[in-house]
Chain A
Amino acid sequence: DTGVSQDPRHKITKRGQNVTFRCDPISEHNRLYWYRQTLGQGPEFLTYFQNEAQLEKSRLLSDRFSAERPKGSFSTLEIQRTEQGDSAMYLCASSLVSSTRNEQFFGPGTRLTVL
């Protein structure tokens, strides 16, 4: 049983560059979430998908951020024109909608450093 995977695990980029992260959820999970975690803080919600539909976006998700889940399986999170304030751990989680169990299971994260 494979868990949530994320790629890459680490990304270093220069300010102004675009970056894209990938998340592969647990195979039968139909909900997928993106969170951002800065040092010393808890994760903060960015957006979530149910199947391929993006159902909710946080105000943290500026217009430089875009997320997709084109076939309802893996998802990508793109940040355009990166800024130093974007440096953080980007976490992906997935869950299965059911009446009893809806825990979110997290991937290992992608740590972004913007120089």
Chain B
Amino acid sequence: AQKVTQAQTEISVVEKEDVTLDCVYETRDTTYYLFWYKQPPSGELVFLIRRNSFDEQNEISGRYSWNFQKSTSSFNFTITASQVVDSAVYFCALRRAGSARQLTFGSGTQLTVLP
């Protein structure tokens, strides 16, 4: 069975602070994919990143960075110099390789960035 745990239900920071959102996953598969999605108040899930299980290189995209550590089954997401527009619910998700294509989501972290 697969499981994604986002232990932080809510995080509140002041603008320009850095913030890290934690994601821990469980899977018996050796090949899988990890994702982060953003859900702003409008409700539409916005794709942020996909990471393959065999690629442990960290990635940076502007103010966003992701730290994938297979040894601890974690895929954490850091926002540097947070902005009010970053306020949203962020979901981490896991997908098996092969025929099963659905995403297994965590319960999400509500990030509030205060001005």
Please give the number of chain A residues whose Cβ is less than 8 angstroms from any Cβ of chain B in the complex.
Answer: 26
Q: With the chains together, A43 CA to B101 CA distance in Å?
A: 14
What sequence of 0s and 1s flags, for each residue 76-104 of chain B, a beta carbon within 8 Å of any chain A beta carbon?
00000000000000010100000111111
Q: Do residues B45 and A48 form an inter-chain contact, with CB atoms below 8 A?
A: no
Chain B residues with CB below 8 A from A33, complex form: 101-102
Residue of A nearest to B91 (CB): A42
Are A43 and B103 within 8 A (Cβ)? yes
Q: Are B43 and A45 interface neighbours, CB within 8 A?
A: no
Q: How far is the CB of A88 from chain B (nearest CB, A)?
A: 12
| Total number of B residues with any Cβ neighbor in A under 8 Å | 22
| B interface residues with partner A (beta carbon < 8 Å) | 4, 35, 37, 42-47, 50, 91, 93, 99-108
A25 CB within 8 Å of chain B: no
> Taking A42-B107, A45-B104 as contacts, is the C-beta distance between A104 and B47 under 8 angstroms?
yes
